[in-house]
Amino acid sequence: MLKCKEIKRDMIGKKTLKAYEFRQIENYFDYIQDSVINGNFSQVKSLFKELSNDQKKLCLRYFNCDQEGRKETLNYLINRI
């Protein structure tokens, strides 16, 4: 299993990260998680669709880490998108 700290930081284009004012890919994934928590499910779907197939896999691995709230986000992504 991929460890949370093994996530590559340059997967999403720099323009996309800059548009959201993020420095790292983890910030983008955390934004997806915050959207799930806040009930912004259409936003979650939109953010997730912006990812390439490899990035989607990486995102799912990121949420598979044993940290607070990540499993719930992973379950949402698997079951709803």
Read off the pLDDT of residues 37-59 as tens digits, 9 standing for 90 and up.
999 999 999 999 989 888 889 89
Structure-model confidence comparison of residues 11 and 25, the more confident one = 25
Do residues 77 and 55 lie in contact, with contact meaning Cβ atoms separated by under 8 Å?
Answer: no
Distance CA 12, CA 42 (A): 20
Torsion angles phi and psi, residue 71, rounded to 5: -65, -40
* Range with top average pLDDT, 6-20, 39-53, 57-71: 39-53
Q: How confident is the model at residue 72 (pLDDT cuts 50, 70, 90)?
A: confident
Structure-model confidence comparison of residues 81 and 75, the more confident one = 75
Q: How confident is the model at residue 11 (pLDDT cuts 50, 70, 90)?
A: low
pLDDT in the model for residue 1:
41
**Structure tokens, 30:** 């955390």
